[in-house]
Amino acid sequence: LRTPMYFFISNLAILDLVGISSVLPKMLENLILDKNIISFEGCVAQLYTFTFSGSTELILLTVMSYDRYLAICQPLHYVTMMSKGTCISLMAGVWGIGTVNSLINTLLVAQLDFCGPKLVQNFLCEVPPVLALSCSSTYLSEIMVYMADIILGMGNFLLVILSYCVIITTILKIQGSAGKWKAFSTCSSHLAVVGLFYSTIIYTYIQPTGTPLEKKNKMVSIIYTLVTPTLNPMIYSLRNKVIKEAFWKL
């Protein structure tokens, strides 16, 4: 469990905990007490924490795909290229970029004026539904959101796709089905998590046009707020032989 892959998986688990902890306690409180109230300070804190975990996870999944690329396509150089120092430097960059992105977007939202209806059309505070409530100009905030979507969203998605195109090409060149399966199994869990995480983005674009925006936002938010963090540990746990053996005994 001291290999780079599990080092990155542990960081993914921490990000999932941070994201879920920023949303679920308040959501459960409102459900139990039958209310739908959150303070402005609490909303801003939730917005910052959730935006941080989401943007950081986008970059982390790209780093993990790069790790799988080195392991499969450059196996003889993997140990030196993915040393302990390299892994720590990569994670420092990942957490740093996520922090800066979240801080900028949160500060821009926090300085807006909110004088109209203050009903957030979601069960958590995210940038788009909060911006919709502002009675001041949100132009700068919207520009920053679009830039983050393009750079962090589309940019990382394209890098992941590129990595797996090279990985699949390399796997197909391996002689023997056993060797191909062994190589593919090392990245199958990560590929499943990537598909699950990015499918929520694609999901927003395949909704019927007649679906109300509020319903669409809530349905998508449930997937990447509750479903994805719950399935991530299960997906990676199934790679562990000890857990699988215990499961089959049960």
In the chain the domains, ranked by start, together with CATH numbers, are 4-177 (1.20.1070.10)
Task: Quickly state the pLDDT bin for 215 (edges 50, 70, 90).
Answer: low
Do 172 and 138 meet the contact criterion of CB atoms below 8 Å apart? no
Do 225 and 23 meet the contact criterion of CB atoms below 8 Å apart? yes
pLDDT of residue 209: 41
Q: How buried is 248 (Cβ within 10 angstroms: 0-12 exposed, 13-18 middle, 19+ buried)?
A: exposed
Chain segment 141-156, per-residue pLDDT in tens: 889 988 888 888 888 9
What are the CA-CA distances from residue 223 to residues 50, 137, 138, 200 (Å)?
14, 31, 27, 7
Range 129-138 average pLDDT:
87
Residue type, 86: T
Task: Spell out the residues 6+ positions from residue 172 whose beta carbon is closer than 8 angstroms to its own.
Answer: 180
Range 158-187 average pLDDT:
83
Residue type, 76: L
Chain segment 52-61, per-residue pLDDT in tens: 998 999 999 9
pLDDT of residue 208: 47
pTM: 0.86
Task: Spell out the residues 6+ positions from residue 191 whose beta carbon is closer than 8 angstroms to its own.
Answer: 164
Q: How buried is 115 (Cβ within 10 angstroms: 0-12 exposed, 13-18 middle, 19+ buried)?
A: exposed
Q: Is pLDDT of 200 > 90?
A: no
Task: Spell out the residues 6+ positions from residue 36 whose beta carbon is closer than 8 angstroms to its own.
Answer: 30
pLDDT of residue 230: 82
